[in-house]
A and B are shown apart, each in its own frame.
Chain A
Amino acid sequence: MEVTIKVFRYNPEKDKKPSYKTYKLEAIETDRVLDLLEKVKGYQDGTLSFRRSCAHGICGSDAMRINGFNRLACKTLVRDTGATIIVQPLLGLRVIKDLIVDMEPFFEHYRSVKPWLINDEPEPEKERTQSAAQRAIFDDTTKCILCACCTTSCPSFWANEQYVGPAAIVAAHRFIFDSRDKAAAERLKILNEVWGVYRCHTVFNCTMACPREIQITKAIGEVKMALTTGKLE
């Protein structure tokens, strides 16, 4: 089948403003959008720029807006997009070139919630143990691959870049509810600020956008409940 792919193009060194360029190419239903972009770059237009790395839905590099939805290009099939595909960079972040956005504000928020295990107690002889039930509490949020699909689909983040965003809250959730971690209070204090969880208006865009199917809005709700009740388990 012939597929038409319309791609957002912007080179700040040459272009005054962004534009769209349309490419036509042969594809089969099981081709991924990433395959199409690779074909365009390899055979039609070598100037096209986009991020990709593992190409198997794990690294999160190729997150982009495909037909209006934040998706990983490596997990989106032509069968699901149809023969006309519009590809844009993620919204809410500065475009560096074409489909490449500046991820630094995203990672700054991610770092702000201290996404690492904090436990100053003396190390046990073996590993820090945890029951299956204790692990299950935060199992969902361990799946995050930091692709930024959630944060850049959030209207609150579009409105203001200072909002920590769903991905950072997911990262915080992963450690707040980890029984081995001792810094839940510290993280909750950060999320209790004006740019923390209260900017979430439960729009559910993040949950819809997550390529790992993490129940992000639910996780944010659990953080709000932890703030209210003080219960972590």
Chain B
Amino acid sequence: MKEHPRTAPQKGFNFDYLMWLFTRLSALGMYLIAIVGVTAALLMSARQNMSVADLMRWAFMPNPNHVVNTNIPNVDTWKGIFWNVMGILMLLFAGGHGLHGLLNVLEDYISRTWVRNLLRGLVLVVWVVMSAIGIYVILTS
């Protein structure tokens, strides 16, 4: 029926679009990391040696410090580069997701462009500093 193809819409690659997309993808990413964490933990004898609370803590931040106080006999398999990367990804996703959520709600109330840009810069600094501290903790655990 169409004689001419319709004009392709302009894909948004501005900050609002990218952060909207990041918020959705980071949520899925966090679910994925948590599922990998739980699955791996169960394979590493968590069912016999960990409470559900400890398991959840591990799932949402796979750090060996969250295992040492459980009945897991050997923590060696619970640490390493893979779990460091998973922990760092979870930290970056969670920080970015949460801080952008806060920013998004605050921006509802901000009319002036310079105030919005200032706030965005501030949130970026907070995210970078928090992430740097978190990454340091993860890598030195």
Kindly state the interface size class of chain B when it binds its partner.
20 to 34
Interface of chain A residues 171 through 188 with chain B (CB within 8 A): 176, 179, 181-185, 188
Chain A residues near B73 (CB-CB < 8 A) = none
A230 CA to B63 CA, complexed, in Å: 40
Annotate A88-125 by CB proximity to B: 1 below 8 A, 0 otherwise: 00000000000000000000000000000000010000
Q: Which of B4, B6, B8, B110 has the most CB of A within 10 A?
A: B6
Contact B16 A198 (CB under 8 A): yes
A39 CA to B22 CA, complexed, in Å: 55
Chain A residues near B9 (CB-CB < 8 A) = 176, 184-185, 188, 226-227, 230, 232
Chain A: CB-nearest residue to B110: A160
- With A129-B1, A134-B1, A228-B21 as given contacts, are A162 and B11 in contact (CB-CB < 8 Å)? no
Chain B residues near A183 (CB-CB < 8 A) = 7
A227 CA to B16 CA, complexed, in Å: 12
Contact A201 B105 (CB under 8 A): yes
- With A134-B1, A198-B17 as given contacts, are A182 and B6 in contact (CB-CB < 8 Å)? yes
Decide yes or no whether B20 CB sits under 8 A from chain A: yes
Q: Which of B9, B17, B116 has the most CB of A within 10 A?
A: B9
Annotate A192-211 by CB proximity to B: 1 below 8 A, 0 otherwise: 11101011010000000000
Contact B1 A163 (CB under 8 A): no
Contact A188 B111 (CB under 8 A): no
The secondary structure that dominates the A interface is loop
- With A184-B9, A192-B10 as given contacts, are A130 and B1 in contact (CB-CB < 8 Å)? yes
Partner of A184, one of B1, B7, B111: B7
Chain B: CB-nearest residue to A156: B108
Interface of chain A residues 211 through 233 with chain B (CB within 8 A): 224, 226-228, 230, 232
Contact A192 B7 (CB under 8 A): no
Interface of chain A residues 23 through 72 with chain B (CB within 8 A): none
A194 CA to B8 CA, complexed, in Å: 21
Kindly state the interface size class of chain A when it binds its partner.
20 to 34
Say how far A180's CB is from chain B's closest CB, in angstroms: 9
Contact B111 A162 (CB under 8 A): yes
A193 CA to B16 CA, complexed, in Å: 7
Chain A residues near B11 (CB-CB < 8 A) = 227-228, 230
Annotate B90-112 by CB proximity to A: 1 below 8 A, 0 otherwise: 00000000000000110111110
Interface of chain B residues 1 through 38 with chain A (CB within 8 A): 1-2, 4, 6-12, 14, 16-17, 20-21
Say how far B46's CB is from chain A's closest CB, in angstroms: 36
Chain A: CB-nearest residue to B116: A194
A98 CA to B26 CA, complexed, in Å: 47
Chain A: CB-nearest residue to B20: A198
Give B contacts to A, CB under 8 Å. 1-2, 4, 6-12, 14, 16-17, 20-21, 104-105, 107-111, 116
Give A contacts to B, CB under 8 Å. 121, 129-131, 134, 155-156, 159-160, 162-163, 176, 179, 181-185, 188-189, 192-194, 196, 198-199, 201, 224, 226-228, 230, 232
Q: Give me 7 other A-B pairs in contact (C-beta within 8 A), A185-B9, A188-B9, A232-B6 excluded.
A: A121-B4, A179-B1, A184-B6, A188-B12, A189-B12, A193-B16, A198-B17
